[in-house]
Amino acid sequence: MRANDHFSIPLKGLTDGTYRFEFEAAENFFKKYENSPVGKGKFDVEAELQKKSDHLELNFSITGKIATNCDRCTADIMLPVEGEHQLIVKYTMDEVTQEEEVWTITYDTNELVLDRAIHEFIILSMPIVKTFDCDLEMPRPCNDAVMDKLDEEVEIEDEPMNPFAEALKNIELN
């Protein structure tokens, strides 16, 4: 089943078993979220749903690229992003909730809207340090001028050692 225009799974009529859904998140998807750390990017999201009588298990596989600046050389790059995430949805007669990795829904819920969860999972999949092996990209996006400056050896003049540090060096610990 392919769902590109919306991010929901119809629940009515699903029997117990395993189902696969595919979603695509691109620029228009991220524009819906104010202050989203993702501006430009494209992600393929595969969701495997296991429907059981009392709950649903969703396993998400996320692959894609985000437009960002390299933390090493400051060049504009398309950073590869991958991630695996899980969401448990339990049926309840009480209050409907959407907490981090466990949601609750009522038995008469018609569809499961996943756009917020997919957005969060993409953000959680992004690496903290935004660098990658850009030598494999053609053309190579690296800013060589910045990389040359980083590679230059900086000579540090020998400074006299602090007398306290010198005294600590001579202490025997045994």
The pLDDT of residue 16 = 92
pLDDT-above-90 percentage for the chain: 36
pLDDT, mean over the chain:
83
Query: Is the confidence at residue 4, as pLDDT, over 50?
Result: no
Is the backbone of residue 15 left (phi > 0), alpha (psi -120 to 50) or beta?
Answer: beta
Domain-wise residue ranges, the chain: 8-169
Please tell me which residue, 129 or 48, carries the higher pLDDT value: 48
| Per-residue pLDDT tens over the stretch 78-127 | 899 999 999 999 988 877 777 777 888 888 888 999 999 999 999 999 99
| Rounded Cα–Cα distance for residues 36 and 47 (Å) | 22
- Reading the block at residue 129, the tokens are 């340090």
Q: If you ran DSSP here, which 8-state letter would residue 157 be given? A: P
| Per-residue pLDDT tens over the stretch 142-154 | 776 776 676 665 4
SS3 content of the chain, % helix, strand, coil (to 5): 20, 40, 45
Global pTM value:
0.75
| Rounded Cα–Cα distance for residues 63 and 118 (Å) | 12
